[in-house]
Every structure is written in structure tokens, then in C-alpha cells.
Amino acid sequence: MTAAIPLTAPALVALLVEGMWSPLAVVLIVVAVAQLLEDVAVLAAAALAVAGVLSWPVAVLAAWAGILVGDLWLYGAGRAGSRLLDRVGADRVAGARRRLAANDVAALATARVVPFLRLPVFLAAGALGLPFRRFALLCALLALPWILALMGFGLFAEAVLPGGAWTAVLIVALLAFVPRIVRLVRESLP
């Protein structure tokens, strides 16, 4: 009979370190998690690098790939839904296209670092027809400083927080749900 392994962060890291999972599987998990909670995935990649499960270059690459895939999914969803803009009016859509084209770097950079702004801005970039190559290149370039900053935070957390970088992963994951919790509380109040 096999003993049950508790599903705690240290136990999961122990499984990974002991080689039960290949580095490719770990990278794919990071990429998948990034589709739902990109900051959590980046911090998890940093924690995995601290634990020696992934090398730092592989951790950065996994986080970067996960973020880029998520960005491209949002762009594609915006392109697919661009017919909805017909309801807005041609003048307003043309104005929005001009403003986005003139400020695409600032818009995408701001969306990368301001919580909850990435979804609407990246959907709009796709819907408004920002050229795909430009969008992909800007996202690829803008993601790297953000990843390095978050991983730096993970290293700082490793040094100062009980539980290290995994505590930072948990905190960021919980913070991702704060807006939902606030909305539920507001809806339940008279």
C-alpha cells in the first residue's frame, strides 16, 4: 500500500526535485498556469528555480512562454469578437483604432503592469486590428522586464518570508481573488 503524499507546496517541490516529473512537464505546467494566473505562474517558476527544480534560464523561458501564449490567446479572442464592434459605430471604432495605433506601446506596457487591465486592453488590441506581428513583438519584449521584476520579488520573498518564494506565490494567488470576494460581499449586502 502506498502512503498518501500531502499536497503542500514543499511536498510538491520534493516530488519535482526527486525527479518524478521531467523538466519539460514542469515547464508545461508553468505555461498552463500562466493562462489563468500569470503572476502566480511567474512566481512559481522563480520558486522552482530557487528549489533547483528548474534552472533560472529555463524558469524565465517557461514564464515568458506562458505569458506570451496567454497574450496571444487574448488577442485572438479579440479578433474573433471584432464583429461586435459593428454595434459601436464606425466613427468611434475608427477613433479607437487611431488612438491605439498612436499609443500601442504605452497601452500594452500599462496593461502589463496594472492589475486587471491586460484582459480588456489585449482584447481591444485584437478587436481593433492592431497588427498581429506588432502586438506579438511588443508583448514578447514587454513581458521580459515584468517577469524579471516578479522573479526578483520571488528572490526577495525567499530571503525574508517564512516559507520563502512559495509564500509569495500563495499571497499573489489569494490577491487574484480579492476582486471576486469584494464583488460577492457587495452583492450580499442589502
pTM over 0.85: no
Instruction: Return d(Cα 33, Cα 26) in angstroms, integer.
Output: 11
Out of 19-28, 141-150, 178-187, the most confident range is 141-150
CA distances in angstroms from 47 to 125, 159, 187, listed in the order given: 32, 12, 36
pLDDT tens per residue, range 40-69: 899 899 988 988 888 999 999 999 999 999
